Amino acid sequence: MIALVDYGAGNLTSVRKALDALGASFWTPTSPDEVARAAGIIVPGVGHFSATSALDAPWRTAILEAVNRSMPLLGICVGLQWLFEGSTEAPEVPGLGLMAGRCTLLSDGQAVDHELRSKDGGKQQAIGRRLKVPHVGWNSLAFPKPSRLFEGLVEGTQVYFTHSYAAPVVAATAAITVHGMPFSAAVEDGLVAGVQFHPEKSGDAGLRILRNWLTEA
Amino acid sequence: MLSKRIIACLDVRDGRVVKGINFEGLREAGDPALLARRYNVEGIDEIVILDVTATLEARQARAQTIAAVAHEIFLPLCVGGGIRTEGDAAAAVEAGADKVSLNTAALLDPSLITTLARRYGSQAVVVAIDARWQDGRAAVYVRSGQAETPRDAVNWAREATERGAGEILLTSIDRDGTKSGFDCALTAAVSDAVNIPVIASGGAGTFEHFAEVFTTGHADAALAASIFHFNEHSVEALKGFLHERNIPVRLPGHGTVPGAPDAPVHPQHG
């Protein structure tokens, strides 16, 4: 049984639907001590990093202990970001710290045009094209190293993203995507894995990635 | 590189897909779940359900339509039409929508954008703007294009962004249903004014129209209904055309190694 952790960050309907389609059995633990009897843990999430603060000390301890006992862990979207030390989106909220580094706002390094942020929007001069954030839509994956997550998938596979903050590229990075800057589209370090994109919204490729992870769990 | 999205719109009334010309004279086009299934196979990137005659009483019927479509696809699903309150949005999300699209309700109470963005995240909040050129400005219309508002589409898109919208769905009322091409000037004006994705809608008739709106129109995504519904054009052929034009798109079926022993999985139906 997979423990699908529901900490109130967004809707889990589509993750549940994808797990059902793949024939995986799962439940939503109501207290941290239930995590110990899982075959694997999924931490989903969409929205703001601060929502992960609902995963307080008892949850963190339970999940870290499970990971130490070689239980597979998959973070999705904000769930991937939570594997890192934290995020500039909510600097006061600590991440799990299994991956080194902090998540930052997607940027191409260009100065933000404050004219565009004025409330009345008085001027309408042509401003050219800028990096759009949130990063919404289908983008391609590059694989810096072989991984179990992406077994059977080709370089350039496209998956669905919707996020504004992203994790840095680190040694554990299993897939890199570029939007303004290169970021960790996926990480895999032993049995700890995370995906910034939404496999449950990424068609056949996404289901294949989820199934690859479930094979471990 | 981020792909340009091709979005199929299902205009639903009483559980059936219909599509109007200039919002009037609705034509029957079929079962929403069956259409969604076909589009999924053809490689559509996203599906929007617009319940064109949604009422409060229709909320339950709408939930059934959403659930039926969501069962068919593992793709982003947006629901609009008749989302007037936080409760309407919650019901749509509960039924399987990933995003809700606000139109009239956001104009009447712009704080609803912020309320929903806080509850579900900006990525779940799409603000739909129906506009037409009027005396040199892009006037915003409501009530299915029947009533003009004092708002300007560019300024309203900026305000919606500031209030927490994650995407803008911009429909040209003049082009809607005409198949005479997207309003590229309107789309570019809005797309250049905001830093969130803009979905162009209204006027798709040929593959060339899509190429135009992605280049001169600066659109991040393009939405169409009737040209897909009636089998006039397949999504797959459209994407092949755009790919030839060097416009980045997600090509169907390229995700996994061809002929690999472990073929991609498909959801079980029924």
Q: Report the range of poorest mean pLDDT among A23-32, B34-43, B150-159, B259-268.
A: B259-268
Whether the full predicted model's pTM is greater than 0.80, yes or no, is yes
Query: A29-73, pLDDT tens digit by residue?
Result: 999 999 999 999 999 987 788 889 999 999 999 999 999 999 999
Query: Measured between CB atoms, does B166 come within 8 Å of chain A?
Result: yes
DSSP state of A196: S
What residues does A169 pair with on adjacent strands? none
Instruction: For residue A132, list chain B residues with Cβ-Cβ distance below 8 A.
Output: 195-197, 220
B98, B129, B257: best to mutate for the A interface, most A CBs within 10 A: B98
For the stretch A70-73, contacts whose Cβ atoms lie closer than 8 Å and that sit 24 or more positions apart, written own/partner, are A70/A190, A70/A191, A71/A38, A71/A39, A71/A40, A71/A41, A71/A191, A72/A39, A72/A40, A72/A41, A72/A191, A72/A192, A72/A193, A72/A213, A72/A216, A72/A217, A73/A40, A73/A41, A73/A42, A73/A43, A73/A191, A73/A192, A73/A193
Q: Is A8 exposed, middle or buried (0-12, 13-18, 19+ CB in 10 A)?
A: exposed
Rounded to whole angstroms, the Cα distance separating A11 from B90 reads 10
Instruction: For residue A115, list chain B residues with Cβ-Cβ distance below 8 A.
Output: none
Task: List CB contacts of A68: < 8 A, sequence separation 6 or more.
Answer: none
Mean pLDDT value across residues B84-110: 93
Task: Look at residue A112 and tell me whether its pLDDT is greater than 90.
Answer: no
Residues in chain A, total = 217
Task: Look at residue A134 and tell me whether its pLDDT is greater than 60.
Answer: yes
Mean pLDDT value across residues A197-212: 96
Lookup result for tokens 């190293």 = A145
Catalytic residue among A163, A179, A188, A200: A200
Which backbone phi and psi does B42 adopt, to 5 degrees?
-75, -10
Task: Look at residue B270 and tell me whether its pLDDT is greater than 50.
Answer: no
Residue B127 identity: V
In Å, how far is B232's CA from the nearest CA of chain A?
Answer: 24
Task: List CB contacts of B259: < 8 A, sequence separation 6 or more.
Answer: none
Does the distance separating the beta carbons of B74 and A17 come in below 8 Å?
Answer: yes
Query: A148-198, pLDDT tens digit by residue?
Result: 999 999 999 999 999 999 999 999 999 999 999 999 999 999 999 999 999
Instruction: For residue B122, list chain A residues with Cβ-Cβ distance below 8 A.
Output: 134, 164
Rounded to whole angstroms, the Cα distance separating A118 from B238 reads 38
Residue B230 · residue B29 · CB < 8 Å: yes
Catalytic residue among B51, B88, B130, B220: B130
Rounded to whole angstroms, the Cα distance separating B98 from B70 reads 10
Mean pLDDT value across residues A12-23: 92
Query: Measured between CB atoms, does B41 come within 8 Å of chain A?
Result: no
CA–CA–CA angle A109, A115, A116 (5° rounding): 75
From the list B187, B191, B224, the residue with the least C-alpha distance to B206 is: B224
Q: What is the CA radius of gyration of chain A?
A: 18
Active-site residue, A198 included: yes
Active-site residue, B130 included: yes
Rounded to whole angstroms, the Cα distance separating A30 from A51 reads 17
Lookup result for tokens 């529901």 = A6
Instruction: For residue B79, list chain A residues with Cβ-Cβ distance below 8 A.
Output: none
From the list B160, B98, B111, B109, the residue with the least C-alpha distance to B131 is: B160
Does the distance separating the beta carbons of A158 and B162 come in below 8 Å?
Answer: no
Averaged confidence pLDDT in chain A: 90
